Structure 1
Amino acid sequence: MELRHLRYFLAVAETLNFTRAADKVHVTQSTLSHQIRQLEDDLGQPLFERVGRRVILTESGQTFYEHVEPIMRQVDEAVGAVKDVPDELRGELRIAATHSFNVQLIPQCLAVFMKRFPLIRVVVEELSGDQISDGLVNGTLDLGISYRPAVPRGLRFEPLYNEELRLITPPDHQLASHRRVRMVELNGVRMTLLTGKFSTRQMLDECFAAAGARPHIVAELNAISPMVELVRRTGLCSIVSDNALKDEAGIVSIPLESPTPVRTPGLLWSQSQHRLPASRFMAETVRQVVQSPGQGGKSRARRRQSSR
């Protein structure tokens, strides 16, 4: 078994079409079919099954794909790191993040990345999750930092960490002194939340339903910043990630439980677009920042309640 066998397998697994897969790896279809048969012989298991004109992964093929794909991604990144001389990298990198990550995580990552690659021009946009997916699909973005999209649309998602959402209140609110708040305690509480088109809101509605709580939603907004400001000015409560807060004055952040709303942010990129070296290095920078003690989303997600 050689690396080319694995690359050919991934091409077929991701396109489910031998003709398109052959074009993708620049070989003839007969060569590709022969290499796949060799791989199946080595493994002693069929990896693909033809159903009419369709090609589908067998159970063994799906299991093999789940193990091979991350390995080959690491191989490609390692090869890219060796081939590309970081100090000579030039060009433009186009990335986008949702508001939660654009407040703190993106500036931290940019500070590290721009110091290492001063010749790269970085363009950052703050977009919704759907807009990020659209940009990656149509090629106007190179890398996204967001939550897992509901519809993959040919995008690769790499989880970074789990992030707990927290209740935020003004300091004089009746819940502000609580060390933790159960979701059922939000029954009837006046709140401002994101509109129903956001996946975060949909998840929160599921949590409310599971707890048997019906908060009084008096304002729905399509952005985090005005929602936080509304909490500060009106006495309403809201639920956001710690990543969305940046030493906000006049705001108390309180952990939630029973159930605890949790989201998983990650890196997003297109499977069909060629990944630029700058995009790979930025992805690596993000991984390093979120794993660094005292930095990034991983540590912020675990930050203790603080009254400001």
Structure 2
Amino acid sequence: MDTRALSVFLSVAETLNFSRSSELLHMSVSAVSRTIQRLEEELGQSLLERDNRRVRLTGAGQEFRTYARHSLDEWQRLRRKLGSDEELAGEVSLYCSVTATYSVLAPILETFRATHPAVEINMHTGDQADGIARVLEGRDDIAVSGRPSQLPQRLRFLPLLESPLVFCAPSADCAVREMVQTVDVSRADFDWKLVPFIVPERGVTKDMLDTWFNNRGVRPRIYAQVAGHEAIVAMVSLGLGVGIAPRLVIEASGMADSISVIAAPRDLGPLTVGLCSLGQRLASPPVKSLWDVAEQTYPRAI
């Protein structure tokens, strides 16, 4: 089995960039391109569509990506079954927000690298609200995400910690600060039209907040919808509005002195943060090993 060719294809399928994959794989761009071309010739199908602006998977490429991942996982299982003495190897594609890299993942990865140094972690960062979708689409093995109210049937979720969701305002004197410093925004009769509100544009937190507002028949004055809790905290610190964010994001943002927590509504509930993965991906030894280390790192999971 040409496992190297499968690994090359999976890298290009993830990055959608031949130059980036060549750097990650320590190969020349031409060598990466030739590997993909040989696979396409053997299959008699185009796996990637290429033009001067972008690279994307064809329908055959999407199917082959699933096959390639399954084949590499089966190959590693077979080697162990036949008594290979080599240490666990392979790679895990991991997605999380920037905050989660050091506030959630740091102790997990420290232990995992010490016990499984041959497993490569491919880290991708972005808005945590995209984590579940990326896992469901097969783009990443594991993502750090808030727990949705309803989990897709194919998805496994490992709770790690809880962080209260809090309303926050700028600390510095400004119009927004003056609007909220003399009132209690957690009161049911608070008029949200009085202040500009900064909300997440998608994700678990948005769903929780929408439900909270709907239950009160509230239509807040929305100043902006932004991607990521970090962006909300930054905009609040600039005096642009009132926002909502997990307390752990505020504490890790480096802007805590510029933010004042003005309410932590009990009935809004905390955000449960954890790992999510497709059940079938947990059959992969490297993926399952990282999952197990996370569970051991946070033994008092919810």
Q: 2:210 aligns with which of 205, 214, 227?
A: 205
Contact 1:91 / 1:119 at 8 angstroms: preserved in 2? yes
How many Å separate the matches in 1 of 2:248 and 2:158?
18
Aligned counterparts of 1:145 and 1:210: Cα–Cα separation in 2: 28
Partner SS state of residue 140, structure 2:
coil
Deviations 1:50-77 (A, max 9, x none): xxxxxxxxxxxxxxxxxxxxxxxxxxxx
TM-fit CA distance, 1:162: 3.9
Specify the alignment match of 1:159 in structure 2: 159
Q: Are residue 242 (structure 1) and residue 242 (structure 2) matched?
A: no
Q: Is the 8 A contact 1:181 1:256 kept in 2?
A: no
> How many equivalent pairs are there?
211
What corresponds to 1:223 in structure 2? Answer: 228
Counterpart contact for 2:170–2:260, Cα < 8 Å: yes
Deviation of 1:258 after TM superposition, in Å, equals 5.3
CA offsets, 1:124-151, max 9 Å, x none?
Answer: 1124567433443454422222133556
Structure 1 residues 267 and 226, CA gap change in structure 2 (3 angstroms)? closer
1:272 is paired with a residue of what secondary structure? helix
State the 1:176 CA deviation. Answer: 6.2
Q: Deviations over 1:242-266 (max 9, x none)?
A: 2323142412234422523433333
Aligned to 1:262: 270
Give the aligned partner of residue 192 of structure 1: 198
Corresponding residue of 1:280: 288
Would you say 1:89 and 2:88 are equivalent positions? yes
C-alpha separation in 1, matches of 2:293 and 2:182: 38
Distance in 2, Cα, partners of 1:168 & 1:91: 43
The 1:271–1:86 alpha-carbon spacing in structure 2 relative to 1, beyond 3 Å, is: farther
CA separation of 1:130/1:213 partners in 2, compared to 1, >3 Å: closer, same or farther?
closer
CA displacement at 1:291 relative to structure 2? 4.4
107 and 183 in structure 1: CA distance in 2 versus 1, 3 angstrom threshold: farther
Amino acid at match of 1:182: S
Q: Distance in 1 between matches of 2:168 and 2:293?
A: 30
Letter in 1 for 2:284: L
Per-residue deviation, 1:122: 0.8
1:238 CA displacement: 0.5
Partners of 1:126 and 1:167 in 2: CA distance: 25
Give the TM-score normalised by structure 2.
0.57
Amino acid of the structure 2 residue aligned with 1:228:
V
1:104 equivalent to 2:103? Answer: yes
Distance 1:106 1:201 in 2: 23
Task: State how far apart, in whole Å, the 2-side matches of 1:265 and 1:161 are.
Answer: 5
Does the C-alpha gap of structure 1 residues 215 and 131 become closer, same or farther in structure 2, counting only changes over 3 Å? closer
Cα distance between partner residues in 1 of 2:84 and 2:247: 36
Kindly state the Cα deviation for residue 118 of structure 1 after the two structures are TM-superposed: 2.4
Match of 2:146 in 1: 147
- Give distance in 2, aligned partners of 1:210 and 1:87: 57
Q: Distance in 1 between matches of 2:96 and 2:182?
A: 33
Say which of 182, 185, 198 aligns to 2:186: 182
Q: Displacement, 1:158? A: 3.0
Task: Label 1:239 to 1:135 Cα distance change in 2 as closer, same or farther (>3 A).
Answer: closer
Task: Please give the secondary structure, in 2, of the residue aligned with 1:234.
Answer: coil
| Matched AA of 1:97 | C
Which whole-Å CA distance do the structure 2 matches of 1:281 and 1:287 have between them?
10
When residues 287 and 176 of structure 1 are mapped into structure 2, their CA distance, relative to the original with a 3 A threshold, is farther
* Aligned-pair CA distance for 1:192: 1.0
CA change 1:153–1:291 in 2 (3 A) is: closer
Q: Given the two structures, how large is their TM-score scaled by the length of structure 1?
A: 0.56
Structure 2 matches for 1:64-79, cutoff 5 A? none
Unaligned runs of 5+ in 2: 1-79
Whichever residue aligns with residue 260 of structure 1, its letter is: L
- Cα RMSD (Å): 3.6
Cα deviation for residue 280 of structure 1 reads 2.2
Gaps of 5+ in 1: 1-81, 299-308
Q: Give the AA of the match of 2:96.
A: A
Listed one character per residue, the Cα deviations across residues 173-228 of structure 1 (whole Å, up to 9, x for unaligned) are 354699x8515346232221112x33321320221232344432111112222221
1:65 paired residue number? none
Q: 1:6 — aligned with what?
A: none
For 1:29, the equivalent position in structure 2 comes to none
